[in-house]
Amino acid sequence: MGKLIINQEKVGNIQDLISICPFGALEEKDHKLQINAACKMCNLCVKKGPKGAVVFVEDSVESIDKDQWKGIAVYADHIDGVIHPVTYELLGKARELADKVNQPVYAVMMGHHIGSQCEELLHYEADKVFVYDQEELDRFRMEPYAKVFEHFVQMIKPAVILVGATPVGRQLAPRVAAKLRTGLTADCTILDINENTDLVQIRPAFGGNIMAQILTPNHRPQMATVRYKVMNAPERKEAARGEIVQCHTAAEVLSSRVTVLDIIPKEKEQYIEASEVLIVAGRGIKKEEDLAMLEELADLLGGQVACTRPVMEAGWLDSKRQVGLSGRTVRPKLIITCGVSGSVQFAAGMNNSEQIIAINKDENAPIFKTAHYCLVGDLYEIIPDLIGRMKESRSAGISSLAAAAAR
């Protein structure tokens, strides 16, 4: 970043310079030119104003010795020792990144009585698993977990840290990034790494209108969170490789102002992330009652009905059924989108599905760039016809089966 410096003696006619700024960021006060908070740093006043009147000055940037920071680290997210599957996906991505720059893969796990569970990470090609197994870490509390994370970073100095965008990860990652005074990119959909170990972090931005490519060249470690089912999980290796490194932090360092009184388990829900078939309702659905048509199709296919953001905001379906970066990331075997335009944010939440079938009247709909099979037409004609054909096929199958049994 940088700042704008005004040389008052070179400004000349203040009103002429004020008229250059399209954002109203230049103003006159006490017969002097000033810059207010509306400034977008577009530098038009520098380029079009009197020479030297306004000057852009780059902030000095402290360089960092990148050779002191090595390795791709993954935070092992778990509940009572049960490791969240996003951890394995991140280990797969970490191995891919580490191989490109010839560096090791680390995992850090913290909790209590997690000795046997942390060994499972060695089956996913972690070179070293750093384990903090202490009574004070029995339940997740922000302060002690952040202090342990900071201890791990200061001890190992990893170049990159990947954290799952789970309820715990979303709280922990920003806290740790702030303590380490480094950058954090949330909800990355693509990760890559340059030869100089700069992490290339890509995610939708400005409401999904662009894909932003973010670098953190002057700080280490580089931190990113990734949602479950965005990355591919590697195959579990039969043989464990790597080593377990037992770590310890002084008990007084792990003090917290929060006391966990009790944990009440939630009732088990059927999340759309676990469904192998999804029927997605988009803006093309005219009224709430028409969702029954999609429910019928979902029942025939043994799946669930999901939705896009407009349908959720209309109150027709719960937010837990929304697909996209502002909802849930899914990877079913089959997904059928009905009247979905296919914004970048929506596509990023489902584009890794095995089979994508899109139904839309607009042949230029963005969803057709993502889909494997594209049906251009009215969903109110296509869906009922599809339901009818499936019922006929199923009835024919049952009839033939009954005839065979009678023989």
Q: Are 74 and 126 spatial neighbours (Cβ–Cβ below 8 Å)?
A: yes
Q: Which residue has the higher pLDDT, 333 or 268?
A: 333
Tokens 């490789």 locate to 241
- Residues 326, 216, 197: CA angle, nearest 5 degrees: 115
Mean pLDDT rounded to a whole number for the chain: 91
The predicted structure's pLDDT at residue 404 = 45
The whole-number pLDDT of residue 405 equals 41
**Class of the 2-58 domain?**
alpha beta
pLDDT in the model for residue 397: 64
Domain ranges within the chain, ordered by starting residue: 2-58, 66-254, 272-396
Q: Which residue has the higher pLDDT, 192 or 63?
A: 192
pLDDT for the residue numbered 402: 44
Residues 6 or more apart whose Cβ sits within 8 Å of residue 144:
136, 137, 253, 254, 255, 256
Query: What element of type H or E holds 35?
Result: strand 32-35
pLDDT higher than threshold 70 for residue 395: yes
Structure tokens belonging to residue 91: 């280990």
pLDDT of residue 207: 67
Cα 336 from Cα 330, distance rounded (Å): 13
The pLDDT > 90 percentage for the chain reads 75
- 286 vs 64: CA distance, rounded Å: 56
Is there a shared CATH topology between the 2-58 domain and the 272-396 domain? no
Query: pLDDT (tens digit, 9 = 90+) per residue, 148-192?
Result: 999 999 999 999 999 999 999 999 999 999 999 999 999 999 999
pLDDT tens digits for range 276-332: 999 999 999 999 999 999 999 999 999 999 999 999 999 999 999 999 988 899 999
pLDDT at 375 over 80: yes
- Superfamily in which the 272-396 domain is placed by CATH: TPP-binding domain (3.40.50.1220)
* Range picked from 52-56, 221-225, 233-237, 247-251 for highest mean pLDDT: 221-225
Domain 66-254 has CATH 1.10.290.10: no
What gap in Å lies between CA 114 and CA 126, rounded to an integer? Answer: 17
Q: What are phi and psi of 57, to 5 degrees?
A: -120, 120
- Per-residue pLDDT, averaged over 34-40, amounts to 91
Q: Residue 165's pLDDT is what? A: 95
Which of 148, 208, 198, 137 has its CA nearest to residue 176? 148
- Separation between Cα atoms, residue 343 and residue 207, nearest integer Å: 9
Query: Parallel, antiparallel, or unpaired for β 54-58 and 2-6?
Result: antiparallel
Considering only CA atoms, which of 43, 8, 5, 53 is closest in space to residue 22?
43
- From 359, 314, 353, 364, select the one nearest 340 (Cα to Cα): 359
Query: pLDDT confidence of 344, banded at 50, 70, 90?
Result: confident
